[in-house]
Chains A and B, each alone.
Chain A
Amino acid sequence: MIALISNPAALLAMVRACGGVTMTKTDERTLRLAANAAELAGRVLVDCTIRSDGAPSRGVNLGWAAQTTPSPEDALTYKVRVLPPLARLTWACCLGLAWPDRTADPYPGSAFTRSSVIDTAADLGASAIWVKSALVNDLRPAGLICEARESGQSVLRLGPAAAAMPDSFVQAIRRFHERLPRPESMEP
């Protein structure tokens, strides 16, 4: 039997290192203490769905509190890892497919297929092989998307990192929601 994580610091460290932890690995008390500790550091624990081997389970990921969300892209005080342009376009396609209704929350969003992402990006002139590479090598390791199995079919869904997207980001993307790439049949 696997021992539950009872140390809040260890739980937070695991959330950071793994990009999300299922609730089955800890107890409610540890989770509450970890949430308090995160809050003191300007972070929040957000609910998300963790899919290990395709099976969904409730989990948590570390996000930013509304007042403490940094903006390194503006301040340039430290370097952050930024996805290459094509991976960003692929991420925009995923968002556009998973988030058809701008009034709704982007997470958990709708399921979408890999082929729909490739087709949407191809309409914008992106090569299929590069889009596939971005899905596998950039977006999935970053936790922005994850694979799921629904109705016997393999589909994609937004990942735990999308659940931890700062609220200010969501509001900003809402303002250009209609510009997110999506097929004509899904145009609002």
Chain B
Amino acid sequence: MRDRPDEGFGGSDSVPFEPLGGSDAGAISDAQLLEHVRAVVAPVAKDVSAVIEDPRALQMARDLADVFADHPTIAGMTKAEALQALGHRGPVDHAMFESRFDHFVRMGLIRSYLPKKNQKRYVLDPAGLVGLLVFERIGARGGVDEMLYLLDRTGRIVQSGEADRATVVAHLRRCRQLLSVYAAQLARMVEAASIRELVDEQRHHDPRRAEAEVHKLNQLVTRHYPADHELNDLAFRLLETELHYRTQVLAAVNRVLDQGGASLDFSVLLPEQYITAALDATFDELAQVGERLVVDPPMPWTDPGSLLEAIDEYRPRHRVRIRPPAPASVGESDPIGRLQRRHREDHQRRRLAAESHLQTADTVELTGVLRALGWPQAAEQLTALLSLSADPTQPFSVELGLMLLVDSEAPVTYLHSVTLRRATPDDDGLLQEVVAAPAGSGDRGLAGDR
């Protein structure tokens, strides 16, 4: 298997640079990154607590830098605007924001827009943003990029002749020291580190690129300083150190392949490397991978707890149906019965009203009473009396006089005389009207005309 072609570094003029967050290849957690950064800042740290330990603080720095960098205006942002912009990106820990914002202002990562007192607008210091990027890169790749960059830069200053001899000596020594330190670290990890740590570490290294850079630098020194034995000696010792470094990188790779391959640990290689192998490797090479593999189907884990959950989830069905409770006072339960009840109540009310008019008498003159009721109560009362009179089961009859009584000023302008009579049942059980002369009038009774 081989790495993807685009995993190598660019040309000698380009500086390898990881974007924020890094790529998946060799990605490490923020806690690991902070551990690397702790070693990086150790030369200038005041005490052991110089670097924060909470990865959330690092994420807050990243988010704040993004917010300030993405802000379209050049006048900066207020603290509230920064908080609001952070809120658009996701949930914000307000206590963390307050503490880190004030800390960044004190440290100069975030500066006041104008150097005045009580300035409320802030801008991001470019050096702080670059520092964040550097920490991301060094933290993620362990500084290997810087070593390659130094080799490349040393070669360029030798080639251009822009630096004096002392600078070239210093650069050559620094290159050798870096290679030597990395070789020692790899040797230590090959001996003592876990396979996972070794896998992560060896991914950062590119021995082919280091070899090419060192050989190119050696040729340049030989060509530009043919008579300077000290420089040639330094360049040669650099070659020796690079050889030692390359040996340790290969030892790390061998241990990873031996141990990882023997344990069939598929996480030794990156998913992209498997894809590359699937696309580019031959059938025989791919067959070798599966030669010693046993694939078994993932058997379900039937623990008693999950079994009990399933039993609890399904309850026995209710075989006896229970009528749901009737809704409270919604709609009419028996509209016909209600109409009949209202009809009976109306009838009872009319009968009682007639009895009230008659009192104990058999006949009563109601013309004056109706007139006094006014309109429309007089019409309603007369209708009720006529309805009662029309009912053969009721012992009442109403007589209307022929004479029309007209009074344009009264509430009831037109009215016939009205007489209510009580009827008594005959021998056949039929009601017989009580015939009596209308009180105080010569009007003819209407008995028999109903």
Interface positions of A (Cβ within 8 A of B): 13, 16-17, 19, 71-73, 80-83, 85-89, 91-92, 95, 121, 123-126, 138, 141-144, 161, 165, 169, 172-173, 176, 179-181
Contacts and interface: CB of A to CB of B under 8 A. Distances in A.
A98 B310 CA distance: 18
Nearest to B312: A179
Contacts of A123: 316-317
A159 to B, nearest CB: 11
Contact of A17 (B296, B307, B313): B296
Those 5 A-B pairs whose CB atoms lie nearest each other, nearest first: A88-B310, A172-B304, A13-B294, A80-B301, A124-B314
A173 to B, nearest CB: 5
Contacts of A91: 302, 307, 310
A83 B309 contact: no
Interface secondary structure of A, over-half rule: helix
Nearest to A124: B314
A17 B304 CA distance: 24
24 contacts: A13-B294, A17-B294, A71-B303, A81-B298, A81-B299, A82-B306, A85-B309, A85-B310, A85-B313, A88-B306, A91-B307, A91-B310, A95-B307, A124-B315, A124-B316, A125-B316, A125-B317, A126-B314, A142-B299, A161-B299, A169-B302, A169-B304, A179-B308, A181-B311
A176 B309 CA distance: 12
Given A82-B301, A142-B299, 16 more contacts: A16-B296, A17-B297, A19-B296, A73-B301, A81-B299, A81-B301, A82-B306, A85-B309, A85-B313, A86-B310, A95-B307, A125-B315, A143-B299, A144-B302, A180-B311, A181-B311
Contacts of B305: 73
Interface in B314-370: 314-317
B48 interface: no
A88 B294 contact: no
Given A17-B296, A141-B297, A165 B302 contact: yes
Contacts of B311: 89, 92, 176, 179-181
Contact of A89 (B294, B298, B313, B316): B313
A70 B296 CA distance: 18
Interface residues of B, number: 23
A161 B306 CA distance: 17
A173 B304 CA distance: 6
A141 B307 CA distance: 18
Nearest to B295: A17
B308 to A, nearest CB: 6
B315 A82 contact: no
A161 B294 CA distance: 19
Contacts of B304: 169, 172-173, 176
Contacts of A80: 298, 300-301
B314 to A, nearest CB: 4
A138 B308 contact: no
Contacts of B315: 124-125
Contact of B307 (A81, A92, A125): A92
B416 to A, nearest CB: 78
A48 B294 CA distance: 22
Nearest to A168: B304
A17 B299 CA distance: 10
A72 B301 contact: yes
Contacts of A82: 300-301, 306
Contacts of B314: 89, 121, 124-126, 181
Interface string B226-244: 0000000000000000000
Interface in B375-394: none
A126 to B, nearest CB: 6
A143 B303 CA distance: 15
A30 B310 CA distance: 41
A100 B301 CA distance: 23
A83 B302 contact: yes
Interface string B170-204: 00000000000000000000000000000000000
A56 B390 CA distance: 97
Contacts of A87: 300
Contacts of A173: 304, 307
B300 to A, nearest CB: 5
Nearest to A143: B299
Nearest to A83: B300
A156 to B, nearest CB: 16
A141 B299 CA distance: 9
Nearest to A85: B310
Given A13-B294, A124-B316, A125-B317, A142 B307 contact: no
